[in-house]
Amino acid sequence: MLHAVIMAGGAGSRFWPESREARPKQLLPLLGQKSMIRATLDRLGALVPRERMLVVTTRMLAQAIADELPDLPRAGVLAEPCRRDTAGCIGLAAVEILARDPDALLIVLPADHAIGPTAVFVQALGQAVRLVEADPRRIATFGIRPNYPAESFGYIERGAPLPEAEPGTAAFTVQRFHEKPRIDVAREYLDSGRFYWNSGIFVFRAATILDELAAQRPALHRGLQAIAAHIGAADYPAVLEREFAALERISIDRAVMEHARQVVVIEASFDWDDLGSWQALARLAGHDEHGNTVVGRHVGVRTEGTIVHGAPDHLIATVGLRDCLIVHTPDATLVANKHDEEAIRQVVELLREKGWLDYL
Amino acid sequence: MLHAVIMAGGAGSRFWPESREARPKQLLPLLGQKSMIRATLDRLGALVPRERMLVVTTRMLAQAIADELPDLPRAGVLAEPCRRDTAGCIGLAAVEILARDPDALLIVLPADHAIGPTAVFVQALGQAVRLVEADPRRIATFGIRPNYPAESFGYIERGAPLPEAEPGTAAFTVQRFHEKPRIDVAREYLDSGRFYWNSGIFVFRAATILDELAAQRPALHRGLQAIAAHIGAADYPAVLEREFAALERISIDRAVMEHARQVVVIEASFDWDDLGSWQALARLAGHDEHGNTVVGRHVGVRTEGTIVHGAPDHLIATVGLRDCLIVHTPDATLVANKHDEEAIRQVVELLREKGWLDYL
């Protein structure tokens, strides 16, 4: 049966101070009324029933996510004992689901991406599912056609067209997965027309991903098998705690995808953004005639290219600014050069050093 | 007898959002624990008893000022019916005080300047009082030796040295008062060595200033005489309301000083700043090794030459900023280029246009 695995363990310090350790990006309504994870679940609703959705997150976030998703069964939120990157996350989800459904086919995706329109996305997932059903060893993924030489994404290099791709769909074998490139390499990728951004959305059988892990990362697979062997047993929590912590920290891309043989890439027909930064958010939200993107109450004098993210009950006034980022929350305000967004992480680190933990 | 007239009617929109209509600069503790007006009164305390201090302000501010100065007698706060610039303010104070003390000698000064050390200031005022006592027609004022070609101050051009100046004091006849100059003219003033900034602090007999007004601004003087004639009468409030509103709006400099014959200027031996802007405040408060002046809780990454004015319970984080001004208050935050401070007034005007009166 078809299941959805929603990866929701991210910390999202790029959106500080709006995002906090206890309320990271996936729990924020960055694009409107719904939190990112709520929107992700709703988007999948036409394809996968709630009982077959599994949200994998951290212990710190489990309760907040359960509260955010009251329609999800209690077993629908799985808290990892610790962070072990996407290979551990997906591996754990695979063994948990496989214990109940030996034929499980998984849609795996992050909880905090901007995707639309929903109908197009659902149709694209349906195509991926059919490609995997046609060949159970297959791993299907979605590639995003790049429109600029991004350095912040991994890339997928496509190979030969898949003959069985449905009309109107571009699907290919995968030549290779590439890690985040330098700018000159990213330009080559863009110019070649054969490279996609790696969306981080996959469709595969649970058994297939575990077989690939067994072949490529045997130690990691042994740890997962040890966990699988105790599902339903009294000592399961203790075994999970011990074995999961011992897993290698590695992404699913590096652990499996880069060397898996039967990976196919479908060119995404939907709009996609990983919403990795305030600038990405502003890009999606659009801007006024001065290039400003504003959420909340604002007055500006000679203000251009600026992102203002506040609240209706707190006024933000700007004078003589260009390309700034201003984020106001009840207990903390960030003012940054918007081209210096990466350094927001440094603020979070400084706060930790100073012991000002209330702001994390 | 010696009286102090403290002009406290200013709106101070330059310090928005810290200053508001109901809580302008003179009521703010911009330089420490004390409000500006509290510090002004305390500074005068060694020279003038509380019963001979008169704070002239607006109706909107009268109660807040009385609350701020509980040691002042009830009659020590005089509320103008409307704003009529410094000639109206000083003229009204003069007729009020003259009604009780025909020989009154007035120290007139703004409520919101930064002045120190107190002992030096008090000594300088004493010298001015003695110069006026020596020649009752005299108007004494203080000139500040300029250290840069300021365009934001009026200037006083000095004439011949006064022979009776006390040892260690530089006092001169006044050649001329000059309005705020353009930058090239300001440079000439600075280079000449004969020009002082007009401090707005005066010492004169109440009768003298009214005589000068009578000679130079007869209509304004007639209005004041009409008010004076009803002091203590039942219809005084109505007469004040009517006559004061009819007064010409003009500064005491333009109305009297520029053409008064017996004005003398004493070179200020005290430190003085009109604290006309956030930058002036930062100049007085000093800065750290990155040129930042910070009040409140702050973390900065690559932040230089920036003024941060917040509170201990709200964090302001800055990233990649230079020469910015950030002022955080519970209901409004200002982010400005600090070289664009004049435009803060435009924010206040925009708020009025939008009807967002809560922020004024």
**Least confident span in A211-220, A253-262, B200-209:** A253-262
Residue A353 near chain B (CB below 8 Å): no
The whole-number pLDDT of residue B167 equals: 84
Residues of chain A contacting residue B343, judged by C-beta atoms under 8 Å apart:
301-302, 319-320
pLDDT > 80? residue A12: no
The whole-number pLDDT of residue B65 equals: 97
Residues of chain B contacting residue A297, judged by C-beta atoms under 8 Å apart:
356
The answer to whether the beta carbons of residues A138 and A204 sit under 8 Å apart is yes
Residues B336, A318: C-beta atoms closer than 8 Å:
yes
The whole-number pLDDT of residue B42 equals: 97
Q: How far apart are CA A265 and CA A71, in angstroms?
A: 32
Number of Cβ pairs < 8 A linking chain A and chain B: 126
* HSE value, Cβ hemisphere, 13 Å, CA-based, for A324: 32
Residue B350 near chain A (CB below 8 Å): yes
The answer to whether the beta carbons of residues B209 and B106 sit under 8 Å apart is yes
Residue A356 near chain B (CB below 8 Å): yes
The whole-number pLDDT of residue A14 equals: 86
Smallest Cβ distance to A343: which of B301, B337, B339? B301
- Average pLDDT over chain A, rounded to an integer: 95
Residues A337, B319: C-beta atoms closer than 8 Å:
yes
pLDDT > 90? residue A168: no
Residues of chain A contacting residue B313, judged by C-beta atoms under 8 Å apart:
331
Smallest Cβ distance to B314: which of A318, A332, A336? A332
Nearest CA in chain A to B317: A334
The answer to whether the beta carbons of residues A334 and A16 sit under 8 Å apart is yes
pLDDT > 80? residue A161: yes
The whole-number pLDDT of residue B260 equals: 86
Bridge-partner residues for B260, per DSSP?
none
The whole-number pLDDT of residue A313 equals: 92
The whole-number pLDDT of residue A232 equals: 92
SS3 at position B177: strand
Q: Name the residue among A22, A121, A32, A37 with its Cα closest to residue A76.
A: A37
**Tell me, what amino acid is at A292?**
N
Residue A316 near chain B (CB below 8 Å): yes
Residues B333, A336: C-beta atoms closer than 8 Å:
no
ipTM of the complex, rounded to two decimals = 0.86
Percent of chain A whose predicted confidence (pLDDT) is above 70: 100
Residues of chain B contacting residue A310, judged by C-beta atoms under 8 Å apart:
333
Chain center to CA of A121: 15
Indicate the pTM of the whole model.
Answer: 0.87
The answer to whether the beta carbons of residues B173 and B261 sit under 8 Å apart is no
Task: Spell out a b/e string for A88-102, using b for 16 or more CB atoms within 10 Å of the CB, else e.
Answer: bbbbbbbbbbbeeee
Which residues in chain B belong to E strands, given as ranges? 2-7, 53-58, 77-80, 105-110, 114-116, 139-144, 155-161, 171-178, 195-205, 263-267, 271-273, 293-295, 297-304, 307-309, 315-322, 324-328, 332-337
Mean pLDDT of successive 10-residue stretches along chain B, which has 360 residues: 96 89 92 93 96 97 96 96 95 97 97 95 96 96 95 94 87 94 96 96 98 97 97 95 96 92 95 91 92 96 96 95 97 96 92 94
The pairing of beta strand B315-322 with beta strand B171-178: unpaired
Residues of chain A contacting residue B339, judged by C-beta atoms under 8 Å apart:
320
The whole-number pLDDT of residue B14 equals: 86
Residue B222 burial (CB < 10 Å; 0-12/13-18/19+)? middle
Angle of helix A236-246 versus helix A218-229 axis, rounded to 10: 170
Residues in chain B: 360
The helix (H) or strand (E) run that includes residue B310 is none
The helix (H) or strand (E) run that includes residue A231 is none
Residue B351 near chain A (CB below 8 Å): yes
Nearest CA in chain A to B357: A315
Q: What band does A108 get if pLDDT is binned at 50, 70 and 90?
A: very high
Q: How far apart are CA A261 and CA A208, in angstroms?
A: 11
Residues B335, A314: C-beta atoms closer than 8 Å:
no
Q: How far apart are CA B312 and CA B295, in angstroms?
A: 8
Mean of the pLDDT values across residues A272-293?
Answer: 92
Residue A346 near chain B (CB below 8 Å): yes
**Least confident span in A261-265, A285-289, B12-16, B26-30:** B12-16
Q: What band does A178 get if pLDDT is binned at 50, 70 and 90?
A: very high
Q: How far apart are CA A166 and CA A344, in angstroms?
A: 44
Bridge-partner residues for B304, per DSSP?
B322
Domain-by-domain residue ranges, chain A? 2-273, 278-359
**Tell me, what amino acid is at A348?**
V
CATH value of B2-273 in 3.40.190.10, 3.90.550.10, 3.30.300.10, 3.40.50.1480:
3.90.550.10
Q: Is the link from the previous residue into B17 a cis peptide, with omega within 30 of 0?
A: yes
Smallest Cβ distance to B319: which of A317, A321, A336? A336
Distance from CA of B27 to the nearest CA of A (A): 22
Q: How far apart are CA A259 and CA A37, in angstroms?
A: 30
Chain center to CA of B305: 27
Bridge-partner residues for A158, per DSSP?
A174
DSSP A23: B
CB atoms within 10 A of CB A179: 12
Residues of chain B contacting residue A326, judged by C-beta atoms under 8 Å apart:
333, 335
Residues in chain A: 360
